[in-house]
């Protein structure tokens, strides 16, 4: 029971991060009859989008939502004085998982070389590359081994969010709300504010 009390935040984040994946699974057909094959179920798109466009949209949308939520935690902690909510690490992992899923879907259906055909794809690719070390060092063992360098490494998240915003701005997606939330978060971090 003590384990549940200590880790309830992690469990809530994990459940919230996993639930939208069921939407994605409903858009895919898994065939195990002759090995393993995954195909799209057509007609699952909304608002005139294809199933593939919906897969990209949902996975990318949740990646940027989790990233925005992680960056919003420090301002929330500052404003409300919350210090005992240990979910930042879990939310960062959720961000990385959704970002990796978004990129894997892109690779599976468009191929790796397509990554270098547009500036927005390159920005997203660089953000993914920068997320990899953050993902693999989001644990106590790495924090203890890297000591002060761990925080320096984690500061890559600011570059990642800028690249991610550039990625969605160039795609003409609903980026303004994320930019406003992240921008306000940065302003609140200024000591004089």
Which among 84, 98, 76 has a CA at the least distance from the CA of 16? 98
Query: How does residue 115 score in pLDDT terms, banded at 50, 70 and 90?
Result: very high
Residue 176's pLDDT is what? 74
Residue 63's pLDDT is what? 92
pLDDT in tens, 129-177: 999 999 999 888 988 898 889 888 888 888 998 898 888 888 776 677 7
Sequential DSSP letters for the chain: -HHHHHHHHHHHHHHHHHTTHHHHHTTEEEE-TTS-EEEE-TT--STT--HHHHHHHHHHHHHHHHHHHHHHHHHHHHHH-------HHHHHHHHHHHHHHHHHHHHHHH-GGGGGSSHHHHHHHHHHHHHHHHHHT-SHHHHHHHTHHHHHHHTHHHHHHHHHHHHHHHTT-S-HHHHHHHHHHHHHHSTT-
Read off the tokens for 144: 């203890």
Block residue for tokens 């002759």: 34
Rounded to 5 degrees, what angle do the CA atoms 168, 169, 174 make?
70
Q: How much is the mean pLDDT over the chain?
A: 85
pLDDT at 85 over 70: no
* Contact status, residue 41 vs residue 28, Cβ threshold 8 Å: yes
Q: Sketch the domain layout of the chain as residue ranges.
A: 2-189
Residue 106's pLDDT is what? 92
Average pLDDT over residues 32-40: 83
pLDDT in tens, 44-59: 777 778 888 888 888 9
Residue 17's pLDDT is what? 93
Block residue for tokens 């466009």: 53
pLDDT at 98 over 90: yes
Name the pTM for this structure.
0.86
Read off the tokens for 138: 């989001």
pLDDT at 73 over 90: no
> Comparing 162 with 97, which gets the higher pLDDT?
97
């Amino acid at each position: 029971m003590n384990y549940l009390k200590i880790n309830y935040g992690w469990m809530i984040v994990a459940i919230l991060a996993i639930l939208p994946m069921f939407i994605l699974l409903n858009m895919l057909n898994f065939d195990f009859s002759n090995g393993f094959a995954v195909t799209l179920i057509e007609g699952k798109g909304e608002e005139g989008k294809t199933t593939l466009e919906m897969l990209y949209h949902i996975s990318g949308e949740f990646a940027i939502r989790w990233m925005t939520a992680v960056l919003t935690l420090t301002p929330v902690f500052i404003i409300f004085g919350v210090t005992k909510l240990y979910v930042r690490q879990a939310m960062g992992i959720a961000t990385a998982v959704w970002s990796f899923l978004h990129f894997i879907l892109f690779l599976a259906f468009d191929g790796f070389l397509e990554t270098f055909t547009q500036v927005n794809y390159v920005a997203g690719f660089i953000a993914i590359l920068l997320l990899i070390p953050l993902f693999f060092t989001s644990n106590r063992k790495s924090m203890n081994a890297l000591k002060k360098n761990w925080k320096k490494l984690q500061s890559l998240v600011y570059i990642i969010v800028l690249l991610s915003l550039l990625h969605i701005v160039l795609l003409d997606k609903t980026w303004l709300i994320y930019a406003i939330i992240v921008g306000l978060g940065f302003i609140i971090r200024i000591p004089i504010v």
